[in-house]
Amino acid sequence: MQAVRNPLAFIAERWTPAPRTVQRAALAALVMAIVIVVTGGAVRLTSSGLGCPTWPKCTDASLTATPAMGFHGAVEFGNRMLTYVLCAAVGWAIIAARSAQPGRRSLTRLGWAQFWLVMGNAVLGGIVVLVGLNPYTVACHFLLTSALLAVATLMWQRSREGDEPARPLVGKSLVRLAWVLMVATGLLVAVGTVVTGAGPHAGDSSEVPRMHVSWEAVSLVHATLAWVVVILTLALWFALKAVDAPAGPLRRTRLLFLVLLAQGVIGYVQYFTDLPEALVAVHMLGSALVWVGALRVLLSMRERPWTAPGVPAQQDSQLSAV
């Protein structure tokens, strides 16, 4: 009866995961969130957005895709099924966080926040189908996924540090610069959804409405913001180097800079080669990595010491450097 009334408490009484297990569970949820970004892009790039023309069923008469629906139906239905894999990963993260000893309510809350974001995005994805891939709903769908990535990244980071109050590793001016970088990256991602909404890859071979803005103009704005983010990242790295900052912030800032350079090369190549589907898919993966990387840079500006018995405080600094 206890397992029915409170299954999480039932599991927590009988299983205590190692800290490394909790970290791996949080990382699995983050990886699956990135995978969903890529597979969602594949649905759009293969013009399979209406492969299942209704929701929550695939068709009015079938819950699943049928052979008659062909390739597009299989792609769209496959992406829907991956949502269950994402739910399983998030569920594992919640169970691991709930069962950890000593209890870590902050981790459990972050896990549940991911769960509700996944549920909300699933409903929004259904609305996207029902309104015929309206580009504004598609943009909101991606932005909600970006919120999921942010929470998943935060949970992964928090699983690798303690629950003590945050202790800054750098000065306030550098923290502010990291926040400016984070905001600029968020704007870059948001404008990227407008580029998608105005661009040629509508998500289906039928007549799908596009955003009534100039694709070339908004692409120029997107490219300008990308250069702003690159310059801010480079400025932050030089500033961290000048004050002899700890290895963690330096390493994460350098990694973000390298991801941005690769993303920029891909962006320019796809622009001048008429947006080939393969490069657009890689660019979508890069956008997720840039967003996660910017958040990790911000989180690296502080540490939270461990207080568990037998765990030295400096271990938090070592974990934060990864």
Same domain, 270 and 177: yes
Do 36 and 148 sit in the same domain of this protein? yes
Q: Are residues 148 and 62 in the same domain?
A: yes
| 154-162 mean pLDDT | 93
Q: Are residues 102 and 250 in the same domain?
A: no
pLDDT band at 273 (very low <50, low <70, confident <90, very high): confident
**Do 233 and 152 share a domain, yes or no?**
no
Asked whether residue 187 falls in the same domain as residue 247, the answer is yes
* Domain limit, last residue, from 160, 190, 219: 160
Domain end marker among 138, 160, 182: 160
Give CA 38 to chain center in angstroms: 10
Bridge partners, residue 204, by sequence: 48
The answer to whether residues 102 and 121 belong to one domain is yes
Question: Count of domains in the chain?
Answer: 2
State pLDDT tens for residues 173-218. Answer: 999 999 999 999 999 999 999 998 888 776 766 677 888 888 889 9
Last residue of a domain, one of 120, 137, 160: 160
Residue 53 above 60 pLDDT? yes
Distance CA 90, CA 22 (A): 12
Residues 214 and 119 both lie in one domain: no
Cα angle value 313/27/137 (rounded, 5°) = 130
Q: Are residues 151 and 64 in the same domain?
A: yes
- Supply the pTM of this predicted model: 0.89
Same domain, 217 and 295: yes
| CB neighbourhood size of 134 (10 A) | 17
> Do 173 and 305 lie in a common domain?
yes
Q: Of the candidates 297, 299, 303, 302, which has an alpha carbon nearest to the alpha carbon of residue 316?
A: 303
**How confident is the model over 16-42, as pLDDT tens digits?**
899 999 999 999 999 999 999 999 988
| 142 and 242 inside one domain | no
- Give the tens place of pLDDT for each residue, 207-249: 778 888 888 899 999 999 999 999 999 999 999 999 999 999 9
Domain containing 120 equals 1-160
Q: Is 168 helix (H, G, I), strand (E, B) or coil?
A: strand
For residue 1, what pLDDT band results from cuts at 50, 70 and 90? low
